[in-house]
Amino acid sequence: MLKLFFTALMFYTRIPCPSWVDHSEDALNRSTIFFPLIGIIVGTIGCGAYLLGSFGLPAELAIIVTMFATVWTTGAFHEDGLADVCDGFGGGWNKTKILDIMKDSRLGTYGSVGLFFVLITKFFALKSLFGIEQLTNALLMYVAAHSLSRFAAMTFIHSHQYVRENDDAKAKPVAKKLSNTDLFIGAMFGLAPLMVLVLYTQTWFFAVVILPVFLVKWRLGIFFKKWIGGYTGDCLGATQQLTELTIYLFFVSLKWISI
């Protein structure tokens, strides 16, 4: 299990790992259970960056420091997937063309615009979140967004078909198999920060965030299946980014609701 954890850490972050970590496809498939746990780690790093940045810096710059820390930690892995999906589905008109565009390492207009709007919306959502919530609550929400969004992306591996050919050397490495047991373990990691938030605040309504998250995942699943017949690694990255943003917007919107 330790080897599988380091395999996940190696694939999904820039955090240094031991040299004996396996790079095989089988190890990647089996390490998927730790994908939401990686979200907890990345979210925790982001929290640390925010706390450090808030000393002597305006709130806006502290948010920028937080976003930079998480992007650096993951190597912009998921943001790249989002941009590729915007380019592919924005510029492609059939499955082959969409997959070819997503495989291209160049960033196009659709990807630039999509990435800009998601990042700028995320910035203002985080600024609002940290402005209206008690610090501990906001930090727990932040970590929950990272773990739950990765679990939502992880469920695609269980519910949909991977559509790229195995010998496609330019495709991002991605797990292609997920058993019911793996899904359950991933769910425990993915939901853990949210459950801590609910217990800490004694506010059960926070758990309702699961509904919009999986509504977004469900709608993306229909869209991906319609155009390419399943998912790719880029689709997982886009799902993670969009569901993470959905979680921030949900928590921010609660200020208009008496809970």
pLDDT band for position 29 (cuts 50, 70, 90):
confident
Rounded distance between C-alpha atoms, residue 146 and residue 191, angstroms: 10
Q: Considering the chain, what percentage of its residues have pLDDT values greater than 90?
A: 81
Is the pLDDT reported for residue 181 higher than 80? yes
Tell which phi-psi region holds residue 226, choosing left (phi > 0), alpha (psi between -120 and 50) or beta.
alpha
- State the pLDDT at residue 175: 66
pTM (2 d.p.) = 0.93
- State the pLDDT at residue 34: 95
- State the pLDDT at residue 20: 84
In b/e form, how buried is each residue of 38-73, taking b as 16+ CB within 10 angstroms?
Answer: bbbbbbbbbbebbeebbeeeeeeebbbbbbebbbeb
pLDDT band for position 169 (cuts 50, 70, 90):
very low
pLDDT band for position 105 (cuts 50, 70, 90):
confident
- State the pLDDT at residue 168: 54
Q: Considering the chain, what percentage of its residues have pLDDT values greater than 70?
A: 94
| pLDDT tens figures, 215-258 | 999 999 999 999 999 999 999 999 999 999 999 999 999 976 65
Is the pLDDT reported for residue 171 higher than 60? no
pLDDT band for position 22 (cuts 50, 70, 90):
confident
Mean pLDDT of the chain: 92
- State the pLDDT at residue 19: 85
pLDDT band for position 133 (cuts 50, 70, 90):
confident
CB 225 within 8 A of CB 98: no
- State the pLDDT at residue 188: 97
Name the one residue in this structure whose structure tokens are 């917007």. 249
CB 241 within 8 A of CB 220: no
**Per-residue pLDDT averaged across 94-114, rounded?**
94
CB 176 within 8 A of CB 26: no
**Per-residue pLDDT averaged across 61-83, rounded?**
97
Give the helix ranges, DSSP H, for 59-159.
59-74, 77-91, 95-103, 109-132, 135-159
86: Cβ contacts below 8 Å, ≥ 6 apart: 110, 111, 113, 114, 115, 238
**Per-residue pLDDT averaged across 164-188, rounded?**
74
- State the pLDDT at residue 172: 57
